Amino acid sequence: MRTWITARLAGWHLHGLSDDLTLIATELATNAVRHGGTPARITLALRDPSTGPRRVVRLEVEDSGPGFSYRSHTRPVPVENCTGRGLLLVDTLSSAWGTGPTATGQLVRAELWA
């Protein structure tokens, strides 16, 4: 997955987004498998907005798990915990992100401005 994302970004001449986007993708894919308990479908798209100067790279991770409320997963995590900070990283590294239900589960998306 990381190699695929890095190659796609290189093809779009967006090398500078590679580290952040591969970290985000790894977190979201891991969450899909760990918490959703199912394989994940990952898509990556470059969108040229009709208004404004910025292009947007959008990553989507979809699984057929039960879903979750992202608000409940962005609270402070006790220092002694070894897990629980992944979505805080996604929130910090992405320009925008969110979740939504699908017909078979849920979709988590993250966007980075190019």
Please report the domains of the chain, with CATH numbers, ordered by start residue.
2-113 (3.30.565.10)
What is the CB neighbour count within 10 angstroms for residue 24? 26
CA 111 to chain CA centroid, nearest Å: 7
pLDDT of 105 higher than 70:
yes
- CA pair distance 24, 37, nearest whole angstrom: 19
75: pLDDT strictly greater than 60: no
Contact 24, 6 (CB under 8 A): no
pLDDT at 82 over 70: no
Q: Is 13 left (phi over 0), alpha (psi -120 to 50) or beta?
A: left
- Give mean pLDDT, residues 21-30: 96
The residue-averaged pLDDT of 106-112 equals 95
Question: How many angstroms separate the CA atoms of 32 and 43, rounded?
Answer: 14
CA separation for the pair 44, 111 (Å, rounded):
10
pTM of the model: 0.85
2's CB contacts (< 8 A; 6+ apart) are: 22, 25, 26
- C-alpha–C-alpha distance, residues 30 and 12, integer Å: 25
Q: Among 20-24, 32-36, 67-71, 101-105, which range has the highest average pLDDT?
A: 20-24
Rg (CA), the chain: 14
